[in-house]
Amino acid sequence: MLLGDSAEHGRGVGTFATREMVRHGFQDLNLHRIYVYILDSNPAARRMCEKAGFQHEGTMREAAFKEGRYHDVHLLGMLPSEFRPE
């Protein structure tokens, strides 16, 4: 099974993997903050991260140049107190 495989979309595999990485970061590595940057052109990734517990912290307007144009980039973050393993 590949996470990028379209047959797996919508089945919660990415959310599960993200929660496990966040769990590892907070519980095993003792991190205080975990964050992710997501292109505006990838709303599925943003929904998945929000479902895993990340909070939208801001938008960097036209911060990435891809395929000949500028894209907004969203910053999502999580603190240990916000992590809810499921």
Containing 76, the helix (H) or strand (E) segment is strand 69-78
Taking each helix axis from N to C terminus, what angle separates 13-23 and 43-51, rounded to the nearest 10 degrees? 50
Checking if the pLDDT of 5 tops 70, the result is: no
Contact call for residues 70 and 37 (beta carbons, < 8 A): no
Considering the entire predicted model, what is its pTM?
Answer: 0.82
Domains and their CATH numbers in the chain: 6-82 (3.40.630.30)
**In angstroms, rounded to a whole number, what is the distance separating the alpha carbons of residues 15 and 32?**
20
Task: Render 14-58 in DSSP notation, one character per residue.
Answer: HHHHHHHHHHIIIIIS--S-EEEEEETT-HHHHHHHHHTT-EEEE
The pLDDT tens digits of the residues spanning 31-81 come to: 999 999 999 999 999 999 999 999 999 999 999 999 999 999 999 999 999
